[in-house]
Amino acid sequence: MKAAAPLKVGIAGLGTVGGGVLRLLETQAELLEARCGRRIIVTAVSARDRTKDRGTDLSAVRWYDDASVMATDPDLDVVVELVGGSDGIAKRTVEAAFAHGRHVVTANKALLAHHGAALALAAEEKGLTLAYEAAVAGGIPAIKGLREGLAGNNIREVHGILNGTCNYILTEMRTTGREFAEVLADAQKLGYAEADPSFDIDGIDAAHKLAVLTGVAFGVTVDFAAVHVEGIRHISSLDIEYAQELGYRIRLLGIARRTDQGIEQRVHPCMVPIGSPIGATDGVFNAVVADGDFVDKVVLVGRGAGAGPTASAVVADLLDIARGRSTPTFGVPAGRLASLVASPIDRRKGRYYVRLMVVDRPGVIADIAASLRDQNVSMEAFLQRGRAPGEAVPVVLTTHDTEEAAMQRALALIGGLDAVLEPPRMIRIEDF
Amino acid sequence: MKAAAPLKVGIAGLGTVGGGVLRLLETQAELLEARCGRRIIVTAVSARDRTKDRGTDLSAVRWYDDASVMATDPDLDVVVELVGGSDGIAKRTVEAAFAHGRHVVTANKALLAHHGAALALAAEEKGLTLAYEAAVAGGIPAIKGLREGLAGNNIREVHGILNGTCNYILTEMRTTGREFAEVLADAQKLGYAEADPSFDIDGIDAAHKLAVLTGVAFGVTVDFAAVHVEGIRHISSLDIEYAQELGYRIRLLGIARRTDQGIEQRVHPCMVPIGSPIGATDGVFNAVVADGDFVDKVVLVGRGAGAGPTASAVVADLLDIARGRSTPTFGVPAGRLASLVASPIDRRKGRYYVRLMVVDRPGVIADIAASLRDQNVSMEAFLQRGRAPGEAVPVVLTTHDTEEAAMQRALALIGGLDAVLEPPRMIRIEDF
């Protein structure tokens, strides 16, 4: 068999992930060639610092200061975009790559969440690939699993732990009993959380990934604006203790669910059964669960970040391109993607956990129960540990299935009671 | 865009899985066409009973009594082999398909375990696909995940729960406290176990699947004969209780591990930590864990059998073929597969659980401890519940890491002691 031409790759961004990709392509060169029938070589790079030691010889590689200029290099087959950010240089680089006939591999969830539909069309018009396995759930082959492995199914729901930083913080809070702020500060010192952690802890990163997963799972145009997003800043160690007592773990989940009203997309803290796959996934790990009409539930768990796992996902995309394996960006041709009809969070149906700080005096519980009853919310369990007449005590309750709008009205009533001292804390329960 | 020609499929075997494939292709026809750009149509079938109602109209389809004759039908692109069995009609059908230029999709692990290397070569010589997602772990996209999703990694180990019948039986034994024979009889009544259950409970089915996974994971020729196989007949409810006490679950696992001596392949009952992904996978579910040098551990869990999940896997393979996505059968070209250098079970390194029935009298434990010491086996824990001087009592011990050969010698010594009344029961511990 005659040797096929090598696949020529330009890498934009040589940070942690870019360095991992360089290392993987170098150390596994022989294996990769066996798998795809040709060599994969890096011929161009773009990075801020040319002098930094990246553990690999880049002297023969063409350097560019501007990644979007690199994308126009005539001697490239694929541009790997690892710059990040929903707009600016990352977007310009990807657009330039398509305009010049190069495939794109990216780890950029923000870009896809905001411009996924338009970029998929741009790729398709030129017969090019836009691949992004690394953008969702790091090393877990979630996009391939969903888009190809489960392609015979109508997906009913996809949900998962999509942000390792939040899962690490929540796990640490549980195992050490410490509060959020303290654990976050430690995570920052250890490099598990960014100096500005808001993208992670406010749920935005998970929402970017969920929006992309939703597009793939349901064959709809990515619609980040339709994602309801809450983060984990308000979770207290008290909630984590109560969760344990009730048989649950608290996770920040992304959930996309097909309902009669449309597609729900939401990112928020959830209580999930301790023994469920999601409940059992501690620490920095990610998990993705897809529920298909023929296959039922499939669970994928692995590392959601880090140089090695992310490089593994980037290189899987490169191997697909090198072998000529192509799949429409979001599973079906961009022109056939349906518009996403969003079902708002108000229509969410399910159970709720509520924690209140109340004055311990007769009649308080009756008032709370009446507020729930008035909104047709049915209480399932109620828990007050200890007594402290006249003083503030925490009280916890869970509900049977109810609609979010009714729950919110009940919470407004409860929050307005004299004896309720702080805004009620609510966490949705998901019994996967 | 002009419509591509439909993909013409012949199905050999219309049992549970074949019926599921027909139903999936019919109900999801539009979705599948959107995903692969062409229609997938069944033009020929082969089954014993033409009159049976399979819930779909087969009047326009060409019927064959002999599947291997169907495979020569000139108007077919793909033969789906769902007959089963390592030889006979299944093998003849697949060979005929390749000889006549048809791709093959099969759910037949026995065929692949015994003839995988030869069939991969036969397919490759003609530029055809041999696809078998459904052969391992049912609906879980394990083959695609490993062969494409993790293709950038050197795999260090792959292990998993590969037989749902065994996992169901072991789970039932734990949750009901009943013994193996009783639970098996119930499982047979419920259809979870075959009338002749030996393929499942003696570990042969799991060993077939492990041999295939080993080929894919390590790029070696499938070598079923090199798999060490033990089943679950000897597991007693007492072992399951002790496992729980020690923090473990008992699972029948398939494990393939790269070691300095070669590749270990073994199927046997294991104790695994309760909180591990494998420990948390109860009931009929399967789980596959792959450990790659860049990605670290990736866990895939889902239904390992049944019409829907298996059909989902078969159709995923059909979609790959319909879109022209091709991958070498075992990840690298058949001619480049290395011969498997087998590391025998004697060289297994790890911890052990041993249960003994001994006469409760002074000196017995000292004799057992001396037998272990004489073989350089270091005891980690020892457990005797209650006392019954002069009578038979169960005694349980666990060891630190040791080599299987030493453990076997120690067990022979212990089994020969006067006070040891029954052959020692040993279960390997795997601390994943």
Walk me through the domains of chain A, giving residue ranges and CATH numbers: 7-135 (3.40.50.720), 142-304+330-345 (3.30.360.10), 348-429 (3.30.70.260)
Q: Can you spell out the DSSP letters for A113-158? A: HHHHHHHHHHHHHTT--EE-GGGSSTTS-HHHIIIIITTTS-EEEE
pLDDT at B139 over 80: yes
A246: number of Cβ within 10 Å: 16
A16 interface with B at CB cutoff 8 Å = no
| β-pair type (B7-12, A285-292) | unpaired
Q: Report yes or no: B322 and B34 within 8 Å, Cβ to Cβ.
A: no
Nearest-Cα distance to chain A for B401, in Å, is 27
Instruction: State yes or no: A14 annotated in a binding site.
Output: yes
Beta strands at B40-46 and B62-64: parallel, antiparallel or unpaired: parallel
Contact B150 A141 (CB under 8 A): yes
Burial B9-40 (b: 16+ CB within 10 A, else e): bbbbbbebbbbbbbbbbeebeebbbbbbbebb
Interface test with B, best of A32, A312, A323, A432 (most B CBs within 10 A): A312
Specify whether the CB–CB gap between B334 and B124 falls below 8 A. yes
Determine, for residues A151 and B308 on separate chains, whether the beta-carbon distance falls below 8 Å. Answer: no
Q: In terms of CA atoms, which chain B residue is nearest residue A337?
A: B34
Tell me the average pLDDT across B299-323: 97
Report the residue from A35, A151, A296 with minimal CB separation from B309. A296
Tell me the pLDDT band of B56, cut-offs 50, 70 and 90. Answer: confident
pLDDT of residue B50: 80
Closest residue, chain B, to A216 (C-alpha): B35
Mutate to test the interface with B, among A1, A23, A105, A148 (most CBs of B within 10 A): A148
Min Cα–Cα distance to chain B from A331, Å: 6
pLDDT exceeds cutoff 80 at B3: no
Q: Is the pLDDT of residue B203 over 60?
A: yes
CB pairs under 8 A between A and B: 187
For residue A300, the chain B residues in CB contact (below 8 A) are: 145, 298-301
**DSSP secondary structure letters along B101-148:** T-EEEE--HHHHHHHHHHHHHHHHHTT--EE-GGGSSTTS-HHHIIII
**Which residues 97-136 of A have a C-beta within 8 angstroms of B?**
133
Closest Cα partner for B315 from B163, B150, B131?
A: B131
Task: Give the contacts of A88 (CB within 8 A, at least 6 positions apart).
Answer: none
Report the pLDDT value the prediction gives residue A2, as an integer from 0 to 100.
57
Residue A100's Cβ-count burial label (10 Å; 0-12, 13-18, 19+) is: middle
Q: What percent of chain B has pLDDT over 90?
A: 92
Q: At how many degrees (to 10) do helices A204-218 and A109-125 cross?
A: 30
Q: What pairs with residue A402 in β-bridges?
A: A350
B175 annotated ligand-binding residue: no
Between chains, do B331 and A35 touch, taking CB under 8 Å as contact? Answer: yes
Q: Using CA atoms, how far apart are residues A350 and A305, in angstroms rounded to an integer?
A: 31
Residue B173 CA: distances (Å) to CA of B183, B240, B241: 7, 8, 10
Closest residue of B to A29, CA-based? Answer: B152
Is B194 labeled as ligand-binding? yes
Asked whether the beta carbons of residue A28 and residue B153 sit closer than 8 angstroms, the reply is yes
Chain B residue with Cα closest to A218: B31
Task: Please name the residues in contact with A283: beta carbons below 8 A apart, sequence gap of 6 or more.
Answer: A164, A167, A168, A171
Among candidates A139, A154, A277 on the partner chain, residue whose Cβ is nearest the Cβ of B31 = A154
Helix-then-strand count for chain A, H and E: 14, 17
CA distance A387 to A393: 8
Q: Annotated catalytic residue: which of B52, B126, B144, B209? A: B209
- Interface check for A298 against chain B (CB to CB < 8 A): the answer is yes
| pLDDT single digits (tens) A110-163 | 999 999 999 999 999 999 999 999 999 999 999 999 999 999 999 999 999 999
Tokens in use for A313? Answer: 């996902």
Distance CA B91, CA B98 (A): 11
Is the pLDDT at B429 greater than 90, yes or no?
yes
Q: What are A320's two structure tokens?
A: 């697909």
Cβ–Cβ < 8 Å for A209, A108: no
Interface mutation vs chain A, best among B291, B294, B319, most A CBs within 10 Å:
B294
Which residues in chain B are closer than 8 Å to A29, comparing Cβ atoms?
none
Active site residue A52: no
DSSP state of B91: H
Contact B333 A37 (CB under 8 A): yes
Identify the CA nearest to B315 among candidates B94, B52, B23: B23
ipTM (interface pTM): 0.96
Output the pLDDT for position B386.
78
User: B326 — contact with chain A (CB < 8 Å)?
Assistant: yes
Eight-class DSSP state of A343: P
> Best interface-test mutation with B: which of A35, A124, A129, A216 has the largest number of B CBs within 10 A?
A35
pLDDT at B85 over 60: yes
Is residue B62 within a helix (H) or strand (E), and if so which, with residue range? strand B62-64
- Rg over alpha carbons for chain A, rounded to the nearest Å, is 24
How many Cβ atoms are within 10 Å of B63's Cβ, its own excluded?
12
Which residue is it, tokens 């042969």? B204
**For the packed helices A109-125 and A88-99, what is the interaxial angle rounded to 10 degrees?**
20
Partners of residue B35 in chain A, C-beta under 8 Å: 151, 328, 331-332
Residue B71 near residue B96, CB atoms below 8 Å: yes
Q: What tens-digit pLDDT sequence spans chain A (432 residues)?
A: 456 899 999 999 999 999 999 999 999 999 999 999 999 999 999 998 888 888 788 888 999 999 999 999 999 999 999 999 999 999 999 999 999 999 999 999 999 999 999 999 999 999 999 999 999 999 999 999 999 999 999 999 999 999 999 999 999 999 999 999 999 999 999 988 888 999 999 999 999 999 999 999 999 999 999 999 999 999 999 999 999 999 999 999 999 999 999 999 999 999 999 989 999 999 999 999 999 999 999 999 999 999 999 999 999 999 999 999 999 999 999 999 999 999 999 999 999 999 999 999 989 999 999 999 999 999 999 998 778 888 999 999 999 999 999 999 999 999 999 999 999 999 999 998
From chain A, the residues in CB contact with B294 under 8 A are 20, 24, 28, 139, 308-309, 311-312, 315
Q: Does residue A80 contact residue A105 with C-beta atoms inside 8 Å?
A: yes
Residues from chain A that touch B151, judged by Cβ atoms under 8 A, are: 32, 35-36, 315-316, 319
Which amino acid, A411?
L
**Beta carbons of A21 and A80 less than 8 angstroms apart:** yes
Name which of A346, A367, A295 is nearest A148 in CA terms.
Answer: A295
Q: Do B152 and A319 touch (CB under 8 A)?
A: yes
Pairing between β-strand A262-273 and β-strand A228-229 as defined by DSSP bridges: parallel
Out of A144, A189, A209, A297, which one is annotated catalytic?
A: A209
